[in-house]
Copies of this chain bind each other. A is one copy, B any other.
Amino acid sequence: MPNRQPVIAPTIAVDAMGGDHGPSVVIPGALEAAREDGFALRLVGDQSLIEAQLQGLDLTGLDVDVVHAPEVAGMQDKPSDVVRRKKDSSIHVAVSLVKNGQADGVVSAGNSGATVACGMFIVGRIPGISRPALASVMPTAKQPMILIDVGANVDAKPRHLLQFGLMADIMAHDVLGIQRPRVALLSIGEEEGKGNVQVKETFELMRASSLNFVGNAEGRDVFTGDVDVVVCDGFVGNVALKLSEGLGQTMGHVLKREITRTWLGRLGTMLNMGGLKRFARIVDYAEYGGAPLLGLKGIVVVCHGASNVKAIMNAVKMAARFVRQRSIAHLEQELAKDPGLAAGNDATHKNTAGAV
């Protein structure tokens, strides 16, 4: 890895109107991130709403400004409409700041299909990357790992999957701090030759690449912590992400119901509050921030609509970390080193447009 000069203070644009809770959750989360890690913020959205939210919050030492955007893109808006027509929406304006060099990265908890589409069409792809992909950091029994793609592309081709592996490899190195990430391909058996046609072809491409490819991983290997990056197409990845989220919530719900059913259980639960809280923290998606859309000429991080203050904070920190680590330059360097990794741009682009 080349030595890269750190950017002294990144500027992160935040879509203040996004998410189920809007400015009341997004702004405190963003301010907390900026305070802890020391970078500049541009809050994008309805100026009067943002200023009302900032009233009474402690801004001492923070570099914060407000960028007015009079419109909001709702959950029902088609992503392509937000790109083409809702040019005054907070998502569109926030992403455009990155395009115009007025911010280094952007975070939104709004309509995720629209955020992905704005990222693709306003910021644009890095030359040689044909399909940007959404990466999600997931908890494991040991350290966190990255699942890619969790929903930007359905029906991806093997060479796209190879690029997903490369992009997540750089993220694992730069953002998670893993020296030589172990990259695996999600399949239905560990042996070579298991899987569908797409996986079998990708296996060969990955083996021939410069990645630290450790072979196929099955669904059960995702959470062991024995691999750092798991690559799959956006359909499988989105199912896997939401399944994990749903199962985690269901297990938490059933656990709570069963351990508080009797008075002895409720007493035991009280005594165990510390351990149960540590458990909840490890399995809580909010600890792991948002999902960056990798492969663009700028940093775009998509957050869950239901994000709480902590989730926003971690997502904004993640965006700043990408900028500080100069991960985009890093990806461009890797593509230049190994032309086999770069793929021509596709004529068509299939986007799930809001699946995530």
Contacts and interface: CB of A to CB of B under 8 A. Distances in A.
A233 to B, nearest CB: 8
A57 interface: no
Interface string A277-303: 011001100000000000000000000
A39 to B, nearest CB: 32
Interface in A185-225: 186-189, 194-197, 199, 218-224
B278 A258 contact: yes
A278 B279 CA distance: 18
A251 B248 contact: yes
Contact of A264 (B247, B261, B274, B354): B274
A293 to B, nearest CB: 16
B222 A246 contact: yes
Nearest to A245: B220
Contact of A219 (B141, B187, B223, B246): B246
Given A195-B154, A246-B219, A246-B224, A186 B239 contact: yes
Interface stretch (A21-29, A169-177, A265-273, A336-344): A265-273
Given A188-B234, A275-B265, A279-B258, A242 B224 contact: no
A240 B188 CA distance: 10
